[in-house]
């Protein structure tokens, strides 16, 4: 497993259409996550989601239904 920084850099290199899920999630966390979920740390949310085995789709769905659960991923 790569780090958030590595995943984000790789995703920006290959583009979202060619990114693996962990890379796509890094792009999501660096972009729309804070708009959807409020004041959260993109890196900490990404790390928590990776630890829990969430996919990017899982995280996006969680943002839509439970912003507190997204914030809890940071801890």
Count CB atoms within 10 A of the CB of residue 72. 13
Contact between 33 and 42 under an 8 Å Cβ cutoff? The reply is yes
Per-residue confidence (pLDDT) for residue 39, from 0 to 100: 81
Range of the domain at 43: 4-72
Residue 35: φ, ψ to 5°: -70, -40
Count the residues in the chain.
Answer: 75
Per-residue confidence (pLDDT) for residue 71, from 0 to 100: 95
- Has residue 1 got a pLDDT over 70? no
Count CB atoms within 10 A of the CB of residue 13. 10
Place of tokens 């801890």: 75
* 51-30-37-50 Cα dihedral, nearest 10 degrees: -10
State pLDDT tens for residues 13-71: 999 999 999 999 999 999 999 899 888 999 999 999 999 999 999 999 999 999 999 99
Q: What is the domain count for the chain?
A: 1
């Amino acid at each position: 497993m790569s780090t958030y920084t590595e995943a984000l850099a790789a995703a920006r290199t290959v583009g979202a259409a060619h990114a693996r899920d962990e890379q796509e999630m890094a792009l999501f966390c660096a972009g729309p996550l804070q708009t959807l979920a409020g004041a959260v740390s993109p890196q900490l949310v990404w790390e928590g989601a990776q630890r829990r085995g969430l996919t990017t789709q899982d995280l996006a769905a969680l943002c839509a239904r439970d912003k507190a659960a997204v914030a809890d991923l940071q801890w």
